[in-house]
Amino acid sequence: MVDDEADSRALLTHYLEELGCSVVTAVDGIDGLEVARRELPDLITLDLMMPRMSGWEMLRALREDAVLRETPVIVVSIVAEEGGAQVLGSVDLMNKPVARDELERMLNRNLRADAARVLVVQDRAEDRLVLHRHLRDAGLQVAMAEGASQAMALLQGTLVDLVLLDLTLPETDGIRLLEQIRDLPELATLPVVMLASRDLSPEEADLLSRHGVRVIQKGVQVEQHLRRALDRRFNRERGMR
């Protein structure tokens, strides 16, 4: 647990210990990195607004650490939702004050060995936040990337079960990124779902079909279509709520 506020550390420690966790604490990002590298925790809770090193800076350092990059992180902050669109890598977001039942749900999701992980590649901050909420509520772990270079870096260092890829990206479009993914032997069969805000050309539709990519048109029913795609992929008995 990384938080500079003593009252927050005390409350969260109480909840976590009630839920059966063993807790170690740190008072800022610098201390947090040192403790994490020493203790190798199963999960990290992380405040954002801290002295010396902010939560964002610590999260970036975690994702660049070869040993800790896979560690699940729960961001616990009064500004969690406002900053959620900027989240780097795979995290959950929880607003302060902490609710015990929500914390329990997040622990169950992040510490389950069989919890599937989805990588969202989307440049629009608002869309990233909406998709993160949908996927998180479906019980999935979520990693996020803003563009092709960040997505490829995450894919080569993080195990994911599915990629949710926007067709229109700033660095390169989704189809070119899909081809980069398929060029890597270890990712050649990775399931991909494409989100499209425009009609596909016949050539694009044919290419995506040959790659086995499901296409979802953005719009008012995107959550419903996304739920069906995830249900089919992960054989889930329950959909999103």
Global pTM exceeds 0.75: no
User: How far is 191 from 58, CA to CA, in rounded Å?
Assistant: 31
Domains of the chain by start residue, with CATH: 6-111 (3.40.50.2300), 117-234 (3.40.50.2300)
Q: Cα 73–42–153 angle (5° rounding)? A: 50
DSSP letter at 20 equals T
User: How far is 128 from 207, CA to CA, in rounded Å?
Assistant: 25
Parallel, antiparallel or unpaired: strands 141-145 and 89-95: antiparallel
Return mean pLDDT, the chain: 83
Question: CB within 8 A of 106, min separation 6: which ones?
Answer: 74, 92, 94
* pLDDT digits 0-9 by tens, 48-85: 888 888 888 898 898 888 888 888 888 888 765 554 44
Question: CB within 8 A of 15, min separation 6: which ones?
Answer: 98, 100, 103
